[in-house]
Chains A and B, each alone.
Chain A
Amino acid sequence: MVTAGPPRPSGAPSARPHPVRPPAGGRGSRAGRPPSAARRAVPYLLIAPTVLALLAVLGYPLVDLVTLSFQDMTRRELFAGTAPPWAGLQQYRAIAADPFFWEVVGRTALFTVACGVVTMTAAMLVALLMRRVSPWVRATMAGVLVAVWAMPVMVAASVFRWLVDADHGVVNWLLGRLPGADFAKHNWFENPWQGFTVIVAVVVWGALPFAAITLQAALTQVPPELEEAARVDGARPSQVFRHITFPVIKPAFVMVTTLTAIWNFGVFNQIWLMRTGQPEKDYYLLGVYSFIESFAVNRYSSGAAIAVVTVLLLLVGAVVYVRQLVRMGEAE
């Protein structure tokens, strides 16, 4: 593969004739000679397209989002293309004074915690279970997890809507078999608590594979001798888990927890589809609320303010996640 062709002229801007180029690859290997300015520019040229794209389509909109939240943009300004009037902190003051906004924040937090607890508990149990089963059962479980992982969110939401359908849903039928339960024609979305149970079920069903597979991969890093030794020494299974197994997989656990929390906090699709594009106010979470304020009510600035608050709240999670990665030495 590595054909030693005739030495080619270098394509670099500073085409100094080098019959044989010094091996310049590893980070430490160039320590011997101070690199020329052109050589030093290479990595920056390489990351330039990525940086530019991120700045243009992500950085600019982020700034714009913040600006927008200090203005008062309505449909009129959007179509006329005129600059919306400056509103200062008015949007923020309005949402802060609105009890409904705080209700939505609380609901979003509760939803995130509920999804996180259920997902992580189930994923941990599944990952531990996968260590105990026979190889063919493990392969089956992995196959099922991957198939579910691959399901598009919209497909999952559609299927769950059909499963809990009031008239012919199989869930109602199954629950109706329970003694004393009457689930005939039961509408799950009439009561938001029950509706959110279904939504949490979809979210957990979709998130569980990623979490379980990652945790299972992390579990393979636990030295069996350590656990065996603890067991020989008389530690109970719960003690072995708490003091031997969990410390080893903790980085992975923290990472998966933060990631799922971040995803769930900004959840939109599942709710949007479960309520067929017209969520009732009881079903608003921050993502849905911001979207509806902007695109259904056409109060773009109010929607932007809600989005800014959402992003700020999410930053807390992001900091935890990035710190964890940095601590693991992955982001050096």
Chain B
Amino acid sequence: MSVTSRSTSRFTSRSTPRPAPRFTSRFTTRARRGAGRRSRRADLLGLLFCAVMAFPVYWMLLTAFRPASQIRSDPPSFWPSEPTLEHFRRAMESETFWSSVRASALIGAGTVVISLLIGVLAAYALARFAFAGRKAFILVILSVQMIPLAGLIIPIYLLLSDAGLTDSLTGVILTYLVFMLPFTVWLLRGFIAGIPVELEEAAMVDGCTRGAAFRRVLLPLLAPGLVATSIYSLVQAWNEYVLAYVLLSSTDKQTVSIWLVSFQTSFGTDYGALMAGATLTALPVVVFFMFVQRRVAAGLAAGAVKG
């Protein structure tokens, strides 16, 4: 701010004699021309950035779809030709592929359903009630997100082994649940706060109980938020590796991340199959994520941008 005021005074002292309108028009044309030139250079830079960022993804797809002979060619070719599905066939034929998809889907669904059920209640309390301890609860919710999963693996493993829940999907769901909950609550709280409270009040004036107002007024309006939140948790559960790796030992319960990693060790340098496996792992996530990104990004950024 100080610079602005300083330079303002410098500017005014130099150019007060000039008629203001002429200056303005000259300034804007200059600025517009400059902006046009800049923007073309900026466009090029932006496209270059896109190319660099997208290259690993492009290379993954290219490798996954090209015949093995081309993968090892020297010099490498950068354009697709003779696409083939042989790597995908090999990846999907690996014996644990489908069971891992099943395990991941079950874990994801379980985590999402329970965390939504529990989380929406807490989020409602945070958004619509004033109560002693509310601030403390928020602080806990926020700080818990900071605890690294990797740091807690040992005691969680011991806890679940005491409860007889190691090597069971339930144990993994419980653990993921707790790591998703804070985020779910926080995100849903934002969505609920965005819905005018007057709607529920009107319903209650009209004779709804609070529960009915919640169910019949708030929930339908909250649906987009619920979808965004659940897909985000689903993606997190799909991607998680360490806990699943430690907790699940039988092969038929391994998740997709574990499948992909074990693939690297068993297939060694069969990069065609590995990239096909990577593509299969990423596909559902990318599709889902594209759907909700705008909402989740808005929810995440709301905390950052507001104020």
Interface set of A (CB-CB < 8 Å, partner B):
1-8, 10-12, 19-27, 29, 40, 42-44, 46-47, 49-51, 53-54, 56-58, 60-62, 64-65, 68, 78, 126, 129-130, 132-134, 137-138, 140-141, 144-156, 158-163, 165, 167-168, 170, 173, 205, 208, 210, 213-214, 217-218, 221, 229-235, 239, 243-244, 251-252, 255-256, 262, 265-266, 268-269, 272-273, 276-277, 287, 290-291, 294-295, 300, 303-304, 307-308, 310-311, 314-315, 317-318, 321-322, 325-326, 328-332
Since A12-B209, A133-B42, A150-B290 are in contact, a sample of 13 more A-B pairs with Cβ atoms closer than 8 Å, ordered by chain A residue number, is: A2-B216, A25-B128, A27-B128, A40-B131, A61-B159, A64-B159, A129-B45, A141-B50, A152-B285, A155-B260, A234-B7, A273-B241, A311-B147
Which stretch from B51-59, B79-87, B95-103, B222-230 is at the chain A interface?
Answer: B51-59
Residues of A within 8 A of B71 (CB): 168
A229–B198 Cα distance when bound, in Å, is 41
A205–B56 Cα distance when bound, in Å, is 10
Does any Cβ of A come within 8 Å of B113's Cβ?
no
A272–B178 Cα distance when bound, in Å, is 24
A273–B242 Cα distance when bound, in Å, is 11
Residues of B within 8 A of A23 (CB): 201-202, 204-205
Does any Cβ of A come within 8 Å of B29's Cβ?
no
Residues of B within 8 A of A294 (CB): 153-154
Instruction: State which of A11, A165, A218, A266 has its C-beta within 8 Å of the C-beta of B211.
Output: A11
Does any Cβ of A come within 8 Å of B4's Cβ?
yes
User: Would B142 and A321 count as touching, CB distance under 8 A?
Assistant: yes
User: Would A256 and B3 count as touching, CB distance under 8 A?
Assistant: no
Does any Cβ of A come within 8 Å of B169's Cβ?
no
A288–B19 Cα distance when bound, in Å, is 69
Interface positions, chain B 52-106, Cβ under 8 Å from A, are 53-54, 56-57, 59-60, 63, 71-72, 74-76
Interface set of B (CB-CB < 8 Å, partner A):
1-4, 7-8, 10-11, 27, 31, 38-39, 42-43, 45-47, 49-50, 53-54, 56-57, 59-60, 63, 71-72, 74-76, 118-119, 121-122, 124-126, 128-131, 133-135, 137-140, 142-144, 146-156, 158-159, 161, 174-175, 177-179, 181-182, 185, 197-212, 216-217, 220, 235, 238-239, 241-242, 246, 257, 260-261, 264-265, 269, 271, 274-275, 277-278, 281-282, 285-286, 288-290, 293, 297-298, 300-301, 303-307
Residues of A within 8 A of B242 (CB): 268-269, 272, 291
For this complex, 14 residue pairs linking A to B, each with C-beta atoms less than 8 Å apart, are: A3-B206, A21-B208, A51-B137, A133-B43, A150-B290, A162-B60, A170-B76, A208-B53, A230-B4, A269-B242, A276-B264, A295-B246, A310-B148, A329-B307
Residues of A within 8 A of B306 (CB): 328-330
Residues of A within 8 A of B50 (CB): 137, 140-141, 144
User: Would B301 and A252 count as touching, CB distance under 8 A?
Assistant: yes
Residues of B within 8 A of A326 (CB): 139
Instruction: State which of B46, B131, B200, B211 has its C-beta within 8 Å of the C-beta of A129.
Output: B46
Instruction: State which of A2, A130, A147, A154 has its C-beta within 8 Å of the C-beta of B57.
Output: A147
Residues of A within 8 A of B217 (CB): 1-2
> Contacts A10-B209, A148-B54, A322-B143; is A62 near B152 (CB within 8 Å)?
yes
Instruction: State which of A56, A230, A265, A330 has its C-beta within 8 Å of the C-beta of B303.
Output: A330
> Contacts A2-B217, A152-B238, A251-B307; is A230 near B3 (CB within 8 Å)?
yes
CB proximity of A213 to chain B, nearest CB, Å: 5
A205–B179 Cα distance when bound, in Å, is 24
Least CB separation from B268: chain A residue = A276
A6, A58, A276, A303 interface centre (most CB from chain B within 10 Å):
A58
> Contacts A218-B301, A294-B153, A322-B142; is A162 near B271 (CB within 8 Å)?
yes
CB proximity of A281 to chain B, nearest CB, Å: 18
A60–B205 Cα distance when bound, in Å, is 44
Residues of A within 8 A of B121 (CB): 46-47, 49-50
A68–B2 Cα distance when bound, in Å, is 55
> Contacts A57-B178, A152-B238, A152-B282; is A218 near B46 (CB within 8 Å)?
no
A165–B277 Cα distance when bound, in Å, is 17
CB proximity of B205 to chain A, nearest CB, Å: 6
> Contacts A49-B118, A133-B42, A150-B286; is A58 near B144 (CB within 8 Å)?
yes
Residues of A within 8 A of B257 (CB): 152, 154
CB proximity of B189 to chain A, nearest CB, Å: 10
Least CB separation from A67: chain B residue = B155
A134, A158, A168 interface centre (most CB from chain B within 10 Å):
A158
Instruction: State which of B118, B148, B156, B178 has its C-beta within 8 Å of the C-beta of A266.
Output: B148
A168–B290 Cα distance when bound, in Å, is 32
> Contacts A152-B238, A162-B271, A276-B265; is A132 near B178 (CB within 8 Å)?
no
User: Would A168 and B271 count as touching, CB distance under 8 A?
Assistant: yes
A178–B39 Cα distance when bound, in Å, is 30
- Cβ-closest 5 pairs across A and B: A266-B148, A150-B289, A61-B155, A23-B201, A46-B125
User: Would A20 and B142 count as touching, CB distance under 8 A?
Assistant: no
Residues of A within 8 A of B235 (CB): 150
Residues of B within 8 A of A12 (CB): 209-210
Instruction: State which of A137, A205, A217, A273 has its C-beta within 8 Å of the C-beta of B53.
Output: A205
User: Would A255 and B131 count as touching, CB distance under 8 A?
Assistant: no
Instruction: State which of A25, A68, A145, A235 has its C-beta within 8 Å of the C-beta of B4.
Output: A235
Residues of A within 8 A of B74 (CB): 168, 173
Residues of A within 8 A of B177 (CB): 53, 57
Residues of B within 8 A of A214 (CB): 297, 300-301, 304
User: Would A6 and B207 count as touching, CB distance under 8 A?
Assistant: yes
Least CB separation from A317: chain B residue = B146
Instruction: State which of A64, A158, A287, A321 has its C-beta within 8 Å of the C-beta of B155.
Output: A64
Residues of B within 8 A of A62 (CB): 147, 152, 155
